[in-house]
Amino acid sequence: MSSSALSMKRNKLRHDTDLHFCEWLAEHVGVGAVPGSCFFREDVNHLIRFHFAKRDDTLKAALNRLSELELKAKTYKQ
């Protein structure tokens, strides 16, 4: 079992806030993330955080889903 965390910027994706992006990510890609704004007092809403505490096969499935992220984001209509 692996355990880790990864933060990333949500630039180039058409979402107003990190919360909206995380909701979209769960609904359309099937991968959950935590809005970065949960970790700051300042107005920071351009980061998201992935947490990993899953079996290797679950992580591989998440990577496969995330590989389609850019294509899904380009074709998404709000």
Q: Looking at residue 16, which CATH number applies to its domain?
A: 3.90.1150.10
Tally of domains within the chain: 1
pLDDT of res. 23:
92
- Residue 10: the pLDDT is 55
Residue 76 in domain: no
For the chain, the average pLDDT equals 78
Residue 77 lies in a domain: no
The CA distance from 75 to 13, in Å, is: 11
Mean pLDDT confidence for 21-42 = 87
pTM: 0.66
Task: Give the pLDDT score at 47.
Answer: 81
Over 70: is that where the pLDDT of 4 sits?
no
Comparing 6-15, 41-50, 69-78, which segment has the lowest mean pLDDT?
A: 6-15
**Is the residue at 8 inside a domain?**
yes
Q: Look at residue 42 and tell me if it is in a domain.
A: yes
Range of the domain at 29: 2-71
How many residues can be counted in the chain?
A: 78
* Residue 78 resides in a domain: no
With 0-12 / 13-18 / 19 or more C-beta atoms within 10 angstroms meaning exposed / middle / buried, residue 29 is middle
Report yes or no on 67 lying in a domain. yes
